[in-house]
Amino acid sequence: MPPALSGGTLAVTLDGAEAIASDPDTDRVLIVGLADRSVTAVSLRPGDEPGRVVVDDHRRAHVALRRGGAVVTLELDSRTITARREVCRLPRGLAWDPVEEVLHVACAGGELVTLPTGDGPPTRTVRLERDLRDVVVHGNRLYVTRFRSAEVLVLDEGGAVVGRARADLPRTAASVAWRAVPSPRGGLWLLHQRVGDAPVALTAAGYYSSHVTYCTGTEAIARPGLAWVRPPAEVRVLPELPFAPLAVDVAAAPSAERLAVAIPGNWGSAERPQVIETSTEPSPVCMRLTPYTVPRGQVVAVAYGAEGALWVQTRAPATLVRLSDRTVIELGGPAMEHAGHRLFHSQPAGLMTCASCHPEGGDDGRNWTFAGLGIRRTQNLLGGVLETAPFHWDGDLMDFSALLGEVMVRRMRARAPSPSESNALERWVDALPPLPASDRGAAAARGEALFRSEAVGCAGCHSGRAYTNGQTVAVGTGGPFQVPTLRGLAWRAPYMHNGCAATLRDRFGPCGGGEAHGHTAHLLPAQLEDLLAFLESL
């Protein structure tokens, strides 16, 4: 099945002669001659899932393998792979430093790895916080974004964090940093989502009220947004993107006057754009937009070439399109159309998609306040959801069909899927792979013994392969709530139904329910560390 969308899979060489496109659907990298429309497909290992692409000054392209744990280097003249280097389990962002002539790789696990550009092992690995996304070179400093929090970390020459920046505004905040790219004027452009601070009302018309609006006056609980960020204090937030239920990629024109945004959420609509171009200059109400549709396929990435030519990459089928004259270059390979993948990532008649709150199939890390209900933290979908039914923190949705009817149809105002579409979405979501757990060691083994002991009592509710008994239980946290799966726990901060525990260790503090939620008060500090090691290994 095709993997979840991530953006950032297209780059064009500085001279505009070639484009390099990652195709995670088929585990290929495509090198495309833009003048003669030649296409060379370079095959990778099954399951590598190629992602971000950068081109250096020596006619080499570098590609992060999101599931392959490596960076591959391709020689553009020979059209071959010249190096494959293991960097971390989950490489995400890539940046080429032309001064130092090195590659910087940002990893979801928190590693920032520096590589020589041609070949050879890492020259430096810095350990930062989890959920790293993109890396941008700015003089002798690096900017590194974090995915779900949309935070920008500022690193000095030694790799130490010396500053942080966010694109928050009164009444709205930045969330889910899909893509960050260098700004030709310094700093970076951040494509993210904007969420409001007002309680979300569940009305007959669906989700409503968030203080996030766009120029048509429609309110939404989450909208794609753009911000220019140059830490420590310079931030300019543009108005939210209209008519964009989901946006995953942004490119900045070399002239610094225009931005292009990929909007896969509008796939299937002849009226709503899959790409928009906008001015980088501030606008008091609405951005000055140029909308584009594409002949076929779902737009997943954008890039500018020579003289500002705008190229877009599509999937299902895989093509490159030059929007100025609608030139289409077929990239070949099977058209990985999947009804479940489409339903998850697109809703051209609505304001949001499933991926708006569950980016890349996971979660946005948000604590939402629902009017009349209270705070609920977005739940994660990775690693198989069907065996964790019933769904939602209150356990009131007994199966996947009920989940679709309540969330997709009633709250998101999507059309009701057909039985075959519902089945396809169920299968696609349930097949989303988990993120890798921490390595198990002696501490985790000791922690597992504590977890399964009657004296601690965790395994009574967190049982079976999914580490949940599927029950709705009161454990001193404010009411009866569904026992969540513990798989992938290390990636799911904040914790508890209301996100009151910022870290897994905080779950064993005041907001975790005390002795009603397992018996851990008697554990020594070293034993608690062992228990945490086991939980992070799941």
Tell me: do 442 and 337 sit in the same domain. no
Does the residue 268 lie in any domain? yes
pLDDT of res. 242: 80
CATH code of the domain in which 471 resides: 1.10.760.10
CB 86 within 8 A of CB 77: no
- Tokens standing for residue 329: 């270059």
Rg (CA), the chain: 23
Q: What is the pLDDT of residues 319-359, one digit of tens each?
A: 999 999 999 999 999 888 999 999 999 998 888 899 999 99
Tell me: do 189 and 308 sit in the same domain. yes
User: Can the peptide bond before residue 390 be classed as cis, meaning omega within 30 degrees of 0?
Assistant: yes
Between CA 379 and CA 396 the distance in angstroms is 14
| Backbone torsions φ then ψ of 151, nearest 5 degrees | -90, 145
Tell me: do 451 and 321 sit in the same domain. no
For residue 304, pLDDT beyond 90: yes
Tell me: do 441 and 337 sit in the same domain. no
Tell me: do 166 and 291 sit in the same domain. yes
∠52-55-59 over CA atoms, to 5°? 145
Between CA 303 and CA 356 the distance in angstroms is 23
pLDDT of res. 319: 97
CATH code of the domain in which 114 resides: 2.130.10.10
For residue 28, pLDDT beyond 90: yes
User: Can the peptide bond before residue 2 be classed as cis, meaning omega within 30 degrees of 0?
Assistant: no
Does the residue 324 lie in any domain? yes
Does the residue 520 lie in any domain? yes
Give the single-character DSSP code of 336: -
Instruction: Please name the residue that has the structure tokens 């500085």.
Output: 14
- DSSP-derived pairing of the beta strands 161-165 and 172-182: unpaired
pLDDT of res. 233: 79
Q: Could you tell me the pLDDT band of residue 81, with boundaries at 50, 70 and 90?
A: very high
Q: Which residues make beta-bridge pairs with 174?
A: 194
pLDDT of res. 239: 77
What is the domain count for the chain?
2
- C-alpha separations of 474 from 390, 457, 484, 501, 535 in Å: 16, 15, 13, 17, 21
Q: Could you tell me the pLDDT band of residue 216, with boundaries at 50, 70 and 90?
A: low
Q: How many Cβ atoms sit within 10 Å of the Cβ of residue 527?
A: 16
Does the residue 138 lie in any domain? yes
Half-sphere exposure of 110 (CA within 13 A, CB side): 9
Does the residue 266 lie in any domain? yes
Does the residue 426 lie in any domain? no
> What average pLDDT does the structure give for the chain?
92
Q: Which of 341, 359, 391 is the last residue of a domain?
A: 341
Q: What share of the chain is helix, strand, coil (3-state, %, to 5)?
A: 15, 35, 50
Q: Which of 341, 375, 409 is the last residue of a domain?
A: 341
Percent of the chain with pLDDT over 70: 96
For residue 211, pLDDT beyond 60: no
Q: Could you tell me the pLDDT band of residue 531, with boundaries at 50, 70 and 90?
A: very high
Q: What's the pTM value of the predicted model, to 2 decimals? A: 0.95
Mean pLDDT of all residues in 48-65: 97
Does the residue 403 lie in any domain? no
Q: How many Cβ atoms sit within 10 Å of the Cβ of residue 194?
A: 29
With residue 256 as reference, give the H or E element that holds it: none
Tell me: do 125 and 235 sit in the same domain. yes
3-state class (DSSP) for residue 434: coil
Torsion of CA 244, 246, 249, 252, to 10 degrees: 20
- Tokens standing for residue 403: 């989940």
∠368-372-373 over CA atoms, to 5°? 50
CB 120 within 8 A of CB 165: no
Instruction: Please name the residue that has the structure tokens 């059209």.
Output: 79
Residues 6 or more apart whose Cβ sits within 8 Å of residue 74: 20, 29, 31, 42, 60, 61, 62, 63, 80, 81, 82
Q: How many Cβ atoms sit within 10 Å of the Cβ of residue 384?
A: 17
Q: Which of 326, 341, 356 is the last residue of a domain?
A: 341
Q: How far is CA 98 from the centre of its chain?
A: 27
Tell me: do 75 and 205 sit in the same domain. yes
- Segments forming the whole domain that contains residue 498: 437-538
Q: What is the pLDDT of residues 257-267, one digit of tens each?
A: 899 999 999 99
In Å, the largest CA–CA distance within the chain is 72
Does the residue 379 lie in any domain? no
Tell me: do 164 and 291 sit in the same domain. yes
